[in-house]
Every structure is written in C-alpha cells, then in structure tokens.
Structure 1
Amino acid sequence: MLRKHMFLALGLLVIASMVLGACAAPVAPPEKIIETVVVTKEVEVVPEVPLPDTLVICQGQQPETLYPYGGSMLAMSHVLEAVYDGPINTNTFSYQAVILEKLPSLADGDAVINTVTVKEGDKAVDDLGEVITLDPAADPPQKIRPAGCASADCAVEYTGGEVEMEQMVVTFKLMAGLQWSDGTPLTSADSVYAFNLQADPDTPTGKYVIERTTSYEAVDEVTTVWTGLPGYKDATYFVNFYGPAPEHVWGQYPAAELVEAVDANSLYVGWGPYIIDEWVKGDHISLHKNPNYWRASEGLPKFENLIYRFTGENSNANIAAILSGECDIVDQTSHLDDQSELLLELQAAGQVNATFVTGTVWEHADFNITPLPGSGFAGLDQDGDGLGPFGDVRLRRAVAMCMDRQAVVDTVMFGQSVVLDTYLPPEHPLFNASVTHYDFDVEAASALLDEIGWVDDDGDPATPRVAQGVTGVPDGTLLEFSYGTTSATQRMQATQVMAESMAQCGIKVNLEYYPASEWFADGPDGQLFGRRFDLGQFAWLTGVEPPCGLYQTENIPGPEDQNNPYTSKLYTYGWGGQNESGYSNTEYDAVCNAAVQALPGQPAYQENHLKSQEIFATDLPVVPLYLRLKLAATRPDMCNFIMDPTANSEMWNIENFAFGPLCGE
C-alpha cells in the first residue's frame, strides 16, 4: 500500500495601490488580499517485484545422452520434455494429441481396415502376431486369419495361392505452422525421416511396430499415412505416428554416428518450449525460451530460463536445497521415498509441496505353482502331477488373506498407495471393480487351511501348521516356505510386515533377500525366472494396455530345448518367458488373446479385458500387493506441477510450470 504524506505551503500575495498626494482627492478603497493554498503530494513509489525468470529443477540423476533414440533414462525424458512437446501425451491411462490435429479413430474414418489380397512370398502377420513370409511349404504350417476372422477359432493354414486378409491404414495430420526451434518449418517429411531413422538397424530402438509396418509415407506437408502388414491388428494404432526428427540438422550423419554426434555437437533442435544452451557434464543443463514455440502466443513457457541441476540422490541434501531456495523442484530420480514422513511434516508446515502419485509400477508376490526340479517347499509333488502345494488355489487364497497388505500401505507407504485386486489400478478405465477381493482375514484363511489339511496340531498359532492329508505333500510337513525378493529397503520393510501377519495364520515364512542381478537372472540359474522359489516378490509395469499376457501359458519360462508340459510344444520364449509362476488356464489364455486381438471401441475389447481380470482374481496366481509411488517435491508456491500416473515424466507440461507471481499471469 502506498504511504501518502501531505505538506502545506502558504503563499501570501499583497497588492497595494500607491496614492498620489492631493488633499481634496478621495482615497481609493484597498484591493482584496487573496490567500492561495498550494497543495503538493509526495508519493513514495515502491518498485514492482520483478517476475522470476529462471526455473531450477534438481535431478538425482544425469542423463547418459540427450539423443532421443540413444537411451531410456527418466532423467533424459525430463530434459527432452522441454525440447520436444508431445507429439502424443499419455495421461490418466489414455492418449492425447499434442502437435497433431487429433488422434485418428475407426469411428472418424481416419483409420480404416481394408481388405487386401496376399500371395506366396508376401509379408504378413500370422495368427500368433508374428511376421512371416507366406510359404505353403513352411514347417510347421503357417496359420493366418483371412478377412472377416477376428479370433484364433477361424484361423486357417496357408496352403498357397491368393488369400484375402485385413490391413490397417491410419492417417495423421500435424497442426499447421509448426517450426523447429531454429525457425525451419516442421513438416510430415520430418516424421518420415524419424521413422526411417528408427527403422535403421544401427539405431538402438525397439522395432516391433516397424517390423509390422508395410509403409509410412508423407502425402503432403502435414499428413502422414501408416499402413500395417496384412493381418496386423494394432490396438494402439492411433499412436503409430513418429515424432519428427530434424533431418536438416541430423541428416548429414548416418544412423550409427548420430548416437555420438548429437551430444558431441550439441545438435539439440526441437519444437518444444525451450532450447538447450549448454550441458556442463556432472553439473547442469541450461536452456532458454524458444521464440518459435508453437504456444508462444499464449505466453508460454512461463520462464525465460530453465536449469536442470544434477544434485545426486541424497534425499536430505535435496530437501535442504528446496528449503533454501536452491531448487524449485526436486524430481523423482532423487528418490525421496526414505524421507516421506519428513516431507509430509514439511508440507503440513507450508514449507514444501510433496506430490505423491501412485504410478504404473505394481508390486506383487508370486506363487511358484509349477516348479522346476530342485525347488523347496513349492517343489513338493508326491503325486507327480507337476504341481506343488501352491497348485491348490485354496492355499493361494489363504495366503493372500493372511498378508496384511493394508498395513503395508498404511505404514511403509505412509497411506499414499492402495491395495490392489488385479494387475490394473482402480483408476484404469478397464479395471474390473467386481472381482474377488481378499481382505486380511485370519479366521477365513484358517478355515481354508483346515479344509486343505494344513492343521494347527498344537493349538499354538505362533508355530507353523502341519500337513495332514494334504494332496501331494508328506504328512507332518510344516507350512513353512521362503519369501524372496531384492534387498531394496522398501521391499524389506513390506515383507517383514507381511511375514508377521502370516504368522498369525500359522504360516512361517523365511525372508530371503537377493541382489537384483541374482534375483532377476534368467533361468536356469536365476532364483525367480529359473522357477526355483516358493513365494517371490517383484514389480511389473502396467499401462494404458492391460498386461494380461504376463500370465498366459505360452509366457512360462523354461529350457529352450524342452516342451512346455501344458502345450506339448517348446517353451515359446525359452528362459525369456515372464510367467515365472507357471500358472496355466486355457480359458484365461483364450480370453486374454481375444482382448489383445480386439481393437478399442469394439465390444470384445472391454468385455474380454474385464473377464481376464475376473479369472485372474479367482485363480490368484500372484497376490497383487500395492502400487509403487512416484514422489517429487516443489517449493510451496509452485503451480501447474501435475504428476500423472501414466505420464513417463512429471515434466510433461513443463511449459505451464510457474511459481509466485507467475501463477497469476
């Protein structure tokens, strides 16, 4: 508020008239005396507080590279969100167009399924989703889906000649007027260049969709068309747009050299809100506002300058940096998890904003249902059916009811996560809320254990139950098994809580912690994927597309030269299979396949994804535990910082970040 002071100045003006001496002359009356008051205001001007012009983001890790196709570190993604905007965002378990006019869809007609004719020698995708060259003499025979066939039930063997199959064609349109940060027009040709670059064998990126692509072409300045191989039905066809790459800058280098050349020569040209100025290795990356940003007319980005500072993973030091003002944001690569309680206290005191978001990484405890020889408790198989004690779904359900998962969420996760029922989080649009839920219930679990033959023979729940008439298990065997995981602090805390709760049911678990390299090693030597464990905890990543395929029979790991006993065929992925539980259910396999092979918007897509979760929760090959948290901290007056469950980086909307007076701009 301006302070005002009043000063008064008094001026007196006297005007007299001179009278000439003449005694007979009359004396003139005096003139009026006029007082004039002059008022002067003295205003104290308080200078305006300048708007902040620099945003400092502190990262626990430094990128290995800023070449988009050269790495996958989250630290790299954070920086590249400032250089590239989109082209497609993945938020709240769905997709959003950023520099495209819209996402194509079958309903709108910019995605279509055509009927085409294929013949011997043509490339196509077979009934299992693999790329093949049509050959009537192939051994084993090739099975394909002719036009109109949407499931394995109607697949036919290719015996030669011409066959009609279905082929997807998808059209994408860029927004008009886009520019690279150097002012060069950004066109559909840049997207085609990116496709060709990623298709190059010397570019270290996945080729799954590329291998199933017939063509990717630019038809005008803003339009590209993706055409899939005949037989390839891609549920996420609407994201088969390739983010543009600056051919006018990178085109002078072959793909093999770009991995090094982009960083070595600072070839950082993008279309996003900021432009990279310098990268001081081990210290920081500095950027400035991009004047050619397509949203510049909206006053974005908010800051003139942006700095990514690499501060390491010392959580105490990073929190201190927020409190001192050295950092405006401390990102999730700083691993603040071990200071969650402190952050919540500081937030309550108004000193920081702590953002906890359940992400897409879900922890689970897996039963070894079909163990390989040499397993411990899980390998007990006196009746020779190939199933150990965990082959009985009643035991799996009882164990689940004896694991106090809510206690883990309340204590280890500080109440910020949720207990899971399936491989999908409750926020997922395809989550089945009607599946069986297993509460912590010692009484119900004990009744199931008694029913199986695991009895409390001494009346002391603190001692393990023993087998009496349990199928395939010698009488007198203790209900005691190993519970293995990595030595990560959070996992150790979680398993200790659940070991104590299982003891209340008469289940004794021996906690075993392994280095990650040993725990996750491929079979036959790896504990987990060598299928030589009893109960094992680890995490998978879920996402927009439900991962039902994790638990299909064909995904069981095993020796490459041996048959999967459930299929009487060689293990499909050898030791690379992911269904280390050994779970197999033909109905589940069929329902999951039907879900994967349907397209979003088709009734079979939702119906089968819901059904697969129902079967999963009933059979319970693994106990879904909780969602891991994504955690970041910001200064208390930060606005527009939104961590999203499915956004890879919390910097996905960095152009909108602001703090203090900028929040009102």
Structure 2
Amino acid sequence: MRRALVLLGLILLLLAACLPEPLPATDQGWTSGASSPPPAPSATATAAPRALTICLGAEPNTLYPLGRLNAAARSVLSALYDSPAERLNYTYTPIILEKIPTLQDGDARIERISVARGTEIVDAAGKVQPLAPGVSLLPAGCRAADCAITWDGQKPVNMERLRVTFKLARDIYWSDGAPVTAADSLFAYNLALAQKDAFHAYLLDRTASYKALDEQTIEWTGKPGFIDPSYVENFWLPLPEHAWKDFSPADLPSLDVVSRTPLGYGAYVVQDWRPGEAILLRKNPSYFRARQGLPRFETLTFRILKDANEAISALLSGECDLLDPTLPLEGQVGLLRSLEAQGKVRLWTAQSPVIEWLGLGLRPASYDDGYTPPQYDRPDFFGEVRFRQALALCLDRQKAVREVLFDTTQVADTLLPPNHPLHASQLVTYPYDPQAAAQLLESLGWRDHDQNPATPRRSYGVPNVPNNTELILRYDTTRALQRQQVAEVLAASLQACGIGLQVTFHPAQEFYAEGPQGLLFGRKFDLAEYAIGGTLEASCRNFMSDQVPNAQNQWIGANVGGFQNGEYDALCRKALYALPEEKTYQEAYQQLQQLFALQLPAIPLYARPILAVSRPDLCNLNLDPTASSPLWNLEAIDYGAGCP
C-alpha cells in the first residue's frame, strides 16, 4: 500500500475455462445467511434497480485492507473504502481528509531537535539505527551526503524531523451508521504495528509516533533524519475499531467478517461472495456522498473471468458492463480497437508510472568475487557506457509501441514516464538509428567481420572481452504474449546492427524467483525485459548501489543490473531528503534524469499502458495513472441516460 518496491510482471495466461452461470436476477437483493427468501414482487410494476457488473481477471486474495492485496482486491476495495487522499495525475487530492497538509499552511513542519545517545534515527544512508558513536548522520540544516557528519559520542547533535497534522472530514460514517474518527486511523496503525508485516515495515520503522489529537485530527511524527517526500501518504486508512477491537490482531486476517465482508465507509457494502464466480455488493445508504446521488447503481457485481477472450465475449453479450484492468487485455488491443470502431465497445487507456525495462546485466552475480573471463565469467559486454548507448540506438522501440501496443503508450527515455510533471525536457535520447549504432560499435572494436549486418559482430580489442567473441546476447523475459511480441520486434532491430539474440521465455514464477537461484533477482542475465516503477521515490531508489540484490542483503533489491555509481547515489539521496515543495527536490530529479540518460544502467522501453474496456455508453471511468486503483472513482461510473 505504501513504499514497498513493487515489481509488476503482468502475465497473459489464456486459460481454458467455462463461462460461469449467469447470476439470477432474484439474487440481486439476497443477503448471505438470510433465514428466509426475499419476498415475491408486488403486483405494482416498479423500475428494476440499476445494476453494474464489472468483470475481473482474478479473484481477490483478501479484502482485509492491511493484507498483501492483489490487483483484483484493490479494485473491489475501491467500492468499500475511499482513499484518505488520492494521487491524481501525480498531485494529491483530499477525499476523506479536509485538506492536503503542506509546509506553506503549517500542517506539515520540519522541526529541529536535540538527539541523545540511543535515540532511533534515520542515518545518512537512510537506515534506521540507534544513535551511537561512529554513526553517520545528517545534522540539522543538512540534506545531502556531502555535509553528513560522524557522531563522536561527545558533542551535542541536532537533527531535523518531520511532523504532519491530518484532519478528517466530518460526516463520514461506517456502513453500520457509526462515525469514522481519527481513532479508527490510529487503530489501523496499531494493527499494522502488531502484525509486524514486512510490507508496511518501511514506514512503520521510520515513524516516531502516530497520535489521535481529537475525533478528527491525527498527528504523525517521523524519526529524526526521516524527511519523507511522500508524507501525505502517512495517514493510515481508517479501520472500524468499534467492530474489530475485540479480535486478536493475529486472527483478523483469517476472519471472514474481516477478509470477505469487511465493514467499510465507501459507496457499496459486500452482500455475498461466491468463490470463483462473483462478489455481490449493494449501495451503502450511509455513504457520505449519497446526497450527490452517488453511487449511481443500487447493486454492483464483480464477476471473475480470468480469460481475456471469454471476458470480451461476455462484454459483447451484455454480461459485463466493464472489463477491469486486472484482465490480460494487452494482447487484444488490435481486436478492441476494431470493436470500438464498430461502436460495440469503448476502450479506455492511460500511461502508468510503471516502466517496461530492458535490463542490462552490467554486473552479474558471478562478478561479485572478482571478474575472471573467459573461464568462469561471462564477457563484460556492458561495462563500456558507449556500448550501452549503441544498444539503445539499435532498439526500434517506437515500432514495438506502434505495432504491439497500438500507440496506447509512449517510448520512455528516462526513469520517469513521459507524462510525469518532473520529466526532464532536455535529455540525451536514443531514437532508432542503426547506422549511428554501427559506427559506435565499430569504434569500440565490435567489427562486422564478414560485411553482413545480419550476422553477429566479433570483438577485436574490446576491453574485458576475449578477441573473436561473437556479439550474441541472451534475452530473457516472461511468457506474456505482449513480451513475446515486443521481443520479436527488438530482436529484428538488433540483428540489423549485427547483435544476435538467444531469446527465452520463462514462467513468471521462475523468472521472478528470489536470488540467488532466480534469473532476475539472482542477476543471471544479459538482457532481461521486466516492469518496475511506481512512486517517484522508488524510481530513483531502484538504481542505487545499495539496492543491488546480493548475498549480503539476502538478495533483496530492485537494482538487478548491478549498476553502481556514486554520483547517481548522491543525487538520489539528495532527492529523497527533500520535500516536493522545496526547490532542491525538483533540481535533484532533473539532474538525476540527465545522468541516467547518459549512463543508461537499463534501457527504458515504454510506460506500461493501463487498459480497460466497457460497453460503448459507459462514462466517468477515470484511469488515472497514479491513483491507488483504476476504479478509484467507482461511485461516479454510469451508463446510458446518466451519461452526457
């Protein structure tokens, strides 16, 4: 939910399955566990309750908000809970908060405090530890590694900490009528602490205190040294203390009343869950936006249809009103475009902050004990930055976006997606140019020995590469159909440069397995296509030296290529220690992107598209690239006469 490094391997599995039986109309008002059937309809004709059916590509793994939620769970939870603040187009908007706290308004403030021996701080490297002699830290007024000090254990030391005050909006109620208060947010925080879930550990470890000051006010305080640029996200989603307080925190995740029918304050209430088939919900009469006519439907059904072809058929037959992005629609864009042109469906697209990468094996794990080619280690193909630049020039990424993704996204050129407000405008870029690439490869000693660009080049005097080595690289990725299609395009463009590929498609579980056995996290690849990104802070941190997965850190880290660059680390830390309102924040990210474009620790291919498809008359779906869920504004979705 916050600050975890999320690696998104979007897998297309076309499963042979039978279409579930249509849900009987009489079940729309049925309550699980009811002792008697619903009454027979009266003789007086009444309008049928408006209903919306959303088809998912997977079954939610839980509806417990503090669980490790899969994408389908996030979609369903959008109906049960509104986010405290939603990140829309990279800017925070209050939902159940009165306002977004800011430095300018004083509800976010940086405090200077004296720190004593033994106090837990966030040190100069961003790690939590007790203050002790020899610890490196950022004293008050310092936000970069070049002014860090090492504490001698004698002199008094002052540091900075961040304190943020959040105000809940009034008149928000749980679906049972009880008010939502700051105590419910504190209850959620204490649950997360008690459960010691590693998923939430980053924020919990850096929180000094979390207090309810009154019924509407929460105060979050960070540990000294933790100046969190995402402080708006440090308000914990309220959970119903009055309903759950008597349960043990350890038991909560396994209770049906918590994981399958949780009490919420959102637009809908869970009515029944039919495993493998559907989840039925009804309108929440206590919803705080009910006076605005929201939600638009009396009933909501989430159907579970894991196969994209089956789901498209269900949409065309009227059994689904909307196909959620959890369905693997990437390989169906051509068909969906054709159906849209015929007026049969509406295709919704957005560019996500997740980048599809071509990872470069700069430093395989076998190099960790020293580099000894050719007997034990793979030739050092990628050590020379100009080789990486030539490789980028050989990749026809625009063709992949045009022919595989049907222009639903854009080619990426740095670690931020093209639509990010902090995306640098003046960068070194690498458009497809095989002639320029060929000249660069020749200058590096990669010779076209037979004057045939279709055959692999060979090395002559290339540092750390034995002479006469053929330029053939392994290309590993998952079996997702879209990745197979992209690999085919890129292999053809690389061949035109004299770079051969050995392409292998792996089961996702094998490709993403933990190190040291795993191919990606075990750093056992030449080229690897994968997806990673998300928050701005994660995008920066993913290429820091301390994020290289290895034996010392239990193979945990997203820097799978093994990139190590002190200048990059310093710029990233500078960005991470600044707040969005501060000038340093924007300057650091601009410089970071420029350095990234020159160094190319990995080659960005494109921003991954978010895809949904609906009946042609559906409206108000807002696939915002940075929202917590593609269905974040589910209550506003409408169709038919309710649409303009």
Common fold, TM-score beyond 0.5? yes
The residue that corresponds to 1:173 in the other structure is: 167
In the alignment, is residue 603 of structure 1 matched against residue 595 of structure 2?
no
In the alignment, is residue 155 of structure 1 matched against residue 135 of structure 2?
no
The residue that corresponds to 2:293 in the other structure is: 299
Separation in 2, partners of 1:451, 1:287: 65
Separation in 1, partners of 2:348, 2:597: 31
Deviations 1:237-266 (Å, cap 9, x if unpaired)? 122111111111011101011112244796
Separation in 1, partners of 2:389, 2:617: 47
In the alignment, is residue 428 of structure 1 matched against residue 408 of structure 2?
no
The residue that corresponds to 1:216 in the other structure is: 210
Q: Is the 8 A contact 1:119 1:160 kept in 2?
A: no
Instruction: Return the letter of the residue paired with 1:163.
Output: V
Aligned residues: 599
Q: 1:532 to 1:239 in 2, by over 3 A?
A: closer
Deviations 1:73-116 (Å, cap 9, x if unpaired)? 11111111111111121221222110111110111111111122
Offset of residue 471 of structure 1 = 2.3
Separation in 2, partners of 1:234, 1:265: 31
Aligned runs of 1:246-645 on 2, under 5 Å? 246-263=240-257, 268-310=262-304, 312-373=305-366, 381=373, 388-545=380-537, 547-560=539-552, 573-645=553-625
Deviations 1:507-532 (Å, cap 9, x if unpaired)? 11111222223323333333333333
Q: Is the 8 A contact 2:371 2:377 kept in 1?
A: no
The residue that corresponds to 2:18 in the other structure is: none
Offset of residue 294 of structure 1 = 0.9
The residue that corresponds to 1:12 in the other structure is: none
Q: Give 1 or 2 for the bigger CA radius of gyration.
A: 1
Separation in 2, partners of 1:548, 1:459: 42
Which of structure 1's runs of 4+ aligned residues deviate more than 6 A?
382-387
Deviations 1:437-468 (Å, cap 9, x if unpaired)? 10111110111011111111222112222222
Separation in 2, partners of 1:75, 1:236: 25
Q: Is the 8 A contact 1:66 1:262 kept in 2?
A: no
Offset of residue 492 of structure 1 = 1.5
Separation in 1, partners of 2:310, 2:543: 42
Q: 1:577 to 1:64 in 2, by over 3 A?
A: closer
What secondary structure sits across from 2:100 in the alignment? coil
Instruction: Return the letter of the residue paired with 2:457.
Output: R
Deviations 1:305-324 (Å, cap 9, x if unpaired)? 111122x2222221121111
Deviations 1:296-340 (Å, cap 9, x if unpaired)? 111111111111122x22222211211111111111222122222
**Could you state the TM-score of these two structures normalised by the residue count of structure 1?**
0.86
Offset of residue 474 of structure 1 = 2.6
What secondary structure sits across from 1:116 in the alignment? strand
Partner residue of 2:630 out of 636, 650, 653: 650
Separation in 2, partners of 1:494, 1:254: 49
The residue that corresponds to 2:36 in the other structure is: none
Separation in 2, partners of 1:120, 1:276: 51
Separation in 1, partners of 2:515, 2:80: 41
Offset of residue 126 of structure 1 = 1.4
Q: Is the 8 A contact 2:121 2:128 kept in 1?
A: yes
The residue that corresponds to 2:41 in the other structure is: none
Q: Is the 8 A contact 1:371 1:387 kept in 2?
A: no
Separation in 1, partners of 2:611, 2:259: 34
Partner residue of 1:103 out of 96, 100, 105: 100
Offset of residue 386 of structure 1 = 11
Offset of residue 286 of structure 1 = 1.5
Q: 1:372 to 1:227 in 2, by over 3 A?
A: closer
Which one is further off, 655-664 or 199-208? 199-208
Q: Is the 8 A contact 1:352 1:636 kept in 2?
A: yes
Instruction: Return the letter of the residue paired with 2:254.
Output: E
Offset of residue 584 of structure 1 = 2.0
What secondary structure sits across from 2:173 in the alignment? coil
Separation in 1, partners of 2:379, 2:427: 25
Q: 1:581 to 1:204 in 2, by over 3 A?
A: closer
**Could you state the TM-score of these two structures normalised by the residue count of structure 2?**
0.88
What secondary structure sits across from 1:449 in the alignment? helix
Separation in 2, partners of 1:429, 1:557: 30
Deviations 1:627-661 (Å, cap 9, x if unpaired)? 22221111111010121112232211011011111
Q: 1:357 to 1:119 in 2, by over 3 A?
A: same
What secondary structure sits across from 1:362 in the alignment? strand
Offset of residue 502 of structure 1 = 1.0
Instruction: Return the letter of the residue paired with 1:287.
Output: L
Instruction: Return the letter of the residue paired with 2:272.
Output: E
Cα-Cα RMSD:
2.4
Q: Is the 8 A contact 2:62 2:259 kept in 1?
A: no
Partner residue of 1:84 out of 81, 84, 95: 81
The residue that corresponds to 1:94 in the other structure is: 91
Structure 1 vs Structure 2: percent identity of aligned residues? 42
Gaps of 5+ in 2: 1-43
Instruction: Return the letter of the residue paired with 1:176.
Output: R
Gaps of 5+ in 1: 1-46, 561-572
In the alignment, is residue 227 of structure 1 matched against residue 221 of structure 2?
yes
Q: Is the 8 A contact 2:379 2:465 kept in 1?
A: no
Q: 1:267 to 1:204 in 2, by over 3 A?
A: farther
Q: 1:383 to 1:79 in 2, by over 3 A?
A: closer
